[in-house]
Each structure stands twice: as structure tokens, then as C-alpha cells.
Amino acid sequence: MSSDPSKRPIRSFVIRAGRTTDSQRKALSAHWDDYVIPFAAKPLKVSDHFPESDRLTVEIGFGMGDSLLEMAQQDPTANFLGIEVHRPGVGKLLHGITEHQVKNLKIMCHDATEVIADCFPERSIDRILVFFPDPWPKKRHHKRRIIQPEFVSLLSSRLKQGGHIHLATDWEQYAEHMLEVLDQETTLSNAFGKGKYYEDPARPPTKFENRGRRLGHGVWDLRFKRIS
């Protein structure tokens, strides 16, 4: 990493010292080597980790992992990779994977931008999910938002032809920003028509989302398809 602050990459996340429960600590210790794929700046051989199928969904920033675990359980013939930097969430998901004996779900605990750029060749992922990323609501922090034109171009380049990007947020201004950025990416097309949101998303709700809905918060989903 450069010593020049002006040349350092802008991170979309801040690693906070969250509380880790006893079950999360035990799962991190006992099951890390079984389900966490170590990061290396080289193409990931998916078949080494998922021998049963070549269909791959990648979720970026899975939080505590409840919805990702449910998706993997609902579709056992597909493979799922969750990317998350926060250890309590990784521990929670590891606990869930082992408790429910889920075989088609693995984790990478590293910066998602580097994972996508370095570990996946072009046209190698079927579906990319980014649910409820930090909206960084203050204007001076907007540059930290993960959904930016350069990152969306990177994501699209890793999608197979016909693959999808599915985003969700409960922050309306961020939803508008997401829509604008995705609309500008020429290799993607809105699955529901230009300027349209995904009105009935086929995904398990997160605990964070359910809490927001009880408080009257809206939720906006977007799904874009790779067309070229």
C-alpha cells in the first residue's frame, strides 16, 4: 500500500470492534479452516471448494449471514460465496453453516473489491448480491459508498452473460444513486425496465430489513442483467 494518503484506496467499510458472542468465537476457532477460503491475489479455482456445481452466487457484505444461509439452504444445487470483513458476522454464519450442515456455502473474510478483482476472471459469476450496504448518508462521505461506477463496471465484467446484479437498500437517496450508476453501465440492462425498481424481490428478508420495516422504512431493490 502506498505511503501517500492521496493514492490509498477509499474503503467503503470501517472495521469496528463489535461484540463477539461465545458461540461466534467457538465457530471462528473450530470451523474457520473448513469454510473460510483464504484470500490470495490469484484466480480462485471454484471447483476446489464447490465440486458439485458451477453455478455461483456471490454476496458482498453479508452482515450476520442469516439471509445468505437461508438462500443456500433453499437452493442446494447452487453454490454460494459470502464476502464479509466483520468477524462477528463471519462467526455467526459459520455457526449456522455447521448447525444446519450446509455444504454449498463458503466465506471469504477480505475486502470485496480485491476479492472480485483478483480472484474471479471475467464471466465467471452467475449472480452478485449487495444487500443493505452502508449508505454513508453525509455528503462528504458519499465517495465511500461501495456502489460507484468503477466498482459496478468491475462487477459486471465478472458476471456471466445473462447473469444478474441484485442490490437492496432502505435509504431512498442511496437507491436513487444506485439506479443512476447502474443505468450508466452499458453492459447491464434493468430487468424491469429503465428507471424501475424490483417490486417483489425473491430473497429472504434480513433482520435489519425487518426491523426497518417495523419502523416504517421503505426498501428499494434493483436487479440488472448482463447483456454484453
Burial class (CB in 10 A: 0-12, 13-18, 19+), 147: buried
Report the alpha-carbon distance of residue 1 to residue 7 in Å, rounded.
9
Q: Specify whether 183 is catalytic.
A: no
Quickly list H helices, 123-171.
149-158
Report the alpha-carbon distance of residue 203 to residue 197 in Å, rounded.
14
Radius of gyration of the chain (CA): 17
Cα-based angle 143, 206, 86 (whole degrees, multiple of 5): 55
Are the beta carbons of 114 and 41 closer than 8 angstroms? yes
Instruction: Using DSSP bridges, classify how beta strands 220-226 and 188-190 pair: parallel, antiparallel or unpaired.
Output: antiparallel
Tally of CA atoms within 13 A in the half-sphere of 30 that contains its CB: 14
For 96-121, b where at least 16 C-beta lie within 10 A, e where not — what string? bbeeeebebbbbbbbbbbebbeebbe
Are the beta carbons of 88 and 65 closer than 8 angstroms? no
List 54, 134, 170, 221, catalytic entry: 134
Q: Active-site positions?
A: 134
